[in-house]
Structure 1
Amino acid sequence: MTFDLSNFIAVSGFSLLAVVVLMALTAREGRRQGRVSVVDTTWGLGFVVIAAVAAVVGDGMAWRRLVLLVLVAVWGLRLARHMHRRNAGKGEDPRYAAMLEKEGGNPTWVAVRKVYAVQGVALWFVSLPIQVSAAAGPGVPAVAVVGILLWLVGFVFEAVGDRQLAAFKADPANHGKVMDRGLWAWTRHPNYFGDSSVWWGLWLVAASAWPGVLTILSPVAMTYFLVFATGARLLEQHMAQRPGYEAYQRRTSYFLPRPPKRGAA
């Protein structure tokens, strides 16, 4: 069995349609709730939907379609649940509020153009390894195993990091303090590092069969978003004025985990 281009086109087309429908429903719910941040929950769910479409519509190797569906579902559903619980009962995310205020005009239309459409395109593009893999034939299982192991490392970092941060914030004694314990002592962004590792792992699973390797720009784009665009960079700007954060920056790695520097204050 070789790569089936016509099947890939079908998988990609149905995936794009699913993303459009999902983002339209998200925009409607966001307008009803009066906050754009509902899209944060949709982000994880969107990848699960695409992985399900790829598993059903694709005619490539069944075991790889199933593996990718399971990995994406475990990651995406956990992330969606985490974001929903984090945002429940709260107002608009300051990042989105600042963007809407800066753009001016009709806030609903601005949100459609600047948030829902952009994230929809990003969803479809980042998920290309899953789409391509769904129409690919036999590959090298050992490469897929390495990808699964990398996914596992990323999932642990992201899930444990989120849980550690939630527990830290839940303690009133930590109000106003900087989280610098557990995984947060090794990297200032264990959740973003984990997210990036998850997608490099998924790419490796897809790259185990030709032409999955050609979708490398998808994990590159995801890593760029997490490190430089909407993830760590914006959070660093937000946290810069918090007492103790500058010292935390000096002793703790920005992204890649490493032991904290001793003596940095």
Structure 2
Amino acid sequence: MSRFLLVTLCALLTAVLAMGVTAVVSRRLGRLSVVDVTWGLVFVAIAWVSYAVGTHSARSLLLAVLVTAWGGRLAWHIRRRALGGDEDPRYAKLVEGVPEQDRFRFALRRVFGVQGLAAWVVSLPIQVAASTDRPLGWVAAGGVVLFLVGVTFEALGDAQLARFKADPANRGAIMDRGLWAWTRHPNYVGDAAVWWGLWVVAAEAWPGVLTVLSPVLMTYLLAFATGARLLESEMSKRPGYRDYMERTSMFLPLPPRRRTRG
């Protein structure tokens, strides 16, 4: 228990420090979407800090490597969108109506504070794994497979969307091809699978199974909170998106439905 308390305290301090630095950078750049770059990287930092102050188990090292692969790819993919162009519509809507002089304090609570706390809770499987030293087994191998499926699904969806947007002929059109024909948010679906896979790796060693709230929370954030639902509140205003919603699953990948006539 004392080992876990040390690990979780260090993880919390890491999240606070990462989001604090991001808040300062965000204020200087005038863009809240900078936090999306930090989102993946804060888990990387937590994973390695947990490994450093934990038992140095093979499970903790494996999780740190997997999280680094996922978080590094995600940060690299998001950096251009977050640092260039217009503010992400999700954040623009969040601060809409907040007086200019109050926006930084508002963002500290509602953006950086919330995401820092969420990262700490979601990373609990990593923290618990860093506090145990049970050898890796077949259950962990299954978790790695699920992780790989998730990160591949996410990366493929991102690549398909990037190619679609790069074609001038698709300007103003709705992406409904490849994985995007099966789910309106393949990147979020992949993210969810990644964290369920990481949880499975941690769950093999007691009491890792008790951290099931972490992938549940991540899935909720992706599907119903700051992810898909919030994004769709803006996307639904675009021509053709309503039709896309009618024939394509919102989250879980399902065969596309036939277009309705009329």
Measure, in 2, the Cα distance between the counterparts of 1:261 and 1:94. 28
Matched, 1:77 2:99: no
Measure, in 1, the Cα distance between the counterparts of 2:235 and 2:89. 13
Matched, 1:130 2:126: yes
Q: Which amino acid aligns with 2:66?
A: L
Secondary structure at the residue paired with 1:136?
coil
Q: CA deviation at 1:6?
A: 0.9
Measure, in 1, the Cα distance between the counterparts of 2:216 and 2:45. 21
| 1:36-185 equivalences in 2 (<5 Å) | 36-59=32-55, 62-104=57-99, 106-138=102-134, 141-185=137-181
Q: 1:249 aligns with which of 245, 251, 256?
A: 245
Q: Which amino acid aligns with 1:31?
A: R
Measure, in 2, the Cα distance between the counterparts of 1:216 and 1:183. 27
Residue deviations 1:201-251, cap 9 Å, x none?
A: 000000011000000011100000001111111122212122222222222
Matched, 1:17 2:13: yes
Runs (5+) with no aligned partner, structure 1: none
Flag as ranges the 4+ runs of structure 1 deviating above 6 A: none
Q: CA deviation at 1:139?
A: 5.7
Q: CA deviation at 1:27?
A: 0.8
Secondary structure at the residue paired with 2:252?
coil
Measure, in 2, the Cα distance between the counterparts of 1:164 and 1:136. 40
Matched, 1:227 2:214: no
Matched, 1:201 2:200: no
Measure, in 1, the Cα distance between the counterparts of 2:223 and 2:13. 29
Runs (5+) with no aligned partner, structure 2: none
> After the TM superposition, which of the residue ranges 242-251 and 145-154 deviates more from structure 2?
242-251
Contact 1:137–1:210 (8 Å) recurs in 2: no
Measure, in 2, the Cα distance between the counterparts of 1:120 and 1:88. 20
How many residue pairs are counted as aligned between the two chains?
Answer: 260
Q: Which amino acid aligns with 1:65?
A: S
Measure, in 2, the Cα distance between the counterparts of 1:139 and 1:262. 49
Measure, in 2, the Cα distance between the counterparts of 1:185 and 1:92. 27
Q: CA deviation at 1:183?
A: 0.7
Q: CA deviation at 1:258?
A: 1.9
Identity %: 59
Aligned-residue CA RMSD (Å): 1.4
State the TM-score, normalized to the length of structure 2. 0.95
Residue deviations 1:61-90, cap 9 Å, x none?
A: x21111101110000000011110222322
Q: CA deviation at 1:153?
A: 0.8
Measure, in 2, the Cα distance between the counterparts of 1:11 and 1:142. 26
Pair 262,94 (structure 1): closer, same or farther in 2 beyond 3 Å: closer
Secondary structure at the residue paired with 1:101?
coil
Matched, 1:217 2:213: yes
Contact 1:150–1:201 (8 Å) recurs in 2: yes
Secondary structure at the residue paired with 1:102?
coil
Measure, in 1, the Cα distance between the counterparts of 2:89 and 2:145. 36
> After the TM superposition, which of the residue ranges 234-243 and 129-138 deviates more from structure 2?
234-243
Contact 1:139–1:210 (8 Å) recurs in 2: no
